[in-house]
Amino acid sequence: MSKHDELSIDQQQLTAAWQRTLPSTINEADRAEVMPDEADPKALRVTIHTAGHQMYTFDFKVGYVDSREVQTTLIDVEKDGRTVDERTDIIQQLVQDYTRHIHECAQALHGLTHA
């Protein structure tokens, strides 16, 4: 088995695939945006807008470690456009949920990323 398990899909195609797939792995009422990470060709920027009155926005960097595994990093959490303390229980709970959804999306795309 080769240790060279690189991501073999172009960033634009990857972004498009995530845009199609992520909405089906997150809560129906939430909204997700996926953009290429301009600083890292193996990474995406994912923004999730929570539904309801909370109006939180979560920004994640999703980097591919290899063709199967992603590393999710929380960049920022905002509420009504202002940065909030991400250490609170509710925020931590949401971060864990969204991280799980992001990993589910990555798994759903294995057929595409693990060529």
What SS3 class is residue 70?
strand
Distance separating alpha carbons of residues 39 and 112, to the nearest angstrom: 22
Which tens digits make up the pLDDT trace of 28-79?
A: 899 999 999 999 999 999 999 998 877 899 999 999 998 888 999 999 999 9
User: Which tops the pLDDT comparison, 114 or 13?
Assistant: 13
Q: What is the CATH number of domain 11-113?
A: 3.30.530
Segments making up each domain of the chain, as ranges = 11-113
Question: H or E element: which one contains 77?
Answer: strand 70-79
Distance separating alpha carbons of residues 114 and 96, to the nearest angstrom: 25
The answer for residues whose C-beta is within 8 angstroms of residue 73's C-beta and 6 or more apart is: 60, 61, 62, 63
pTM value is 0.91
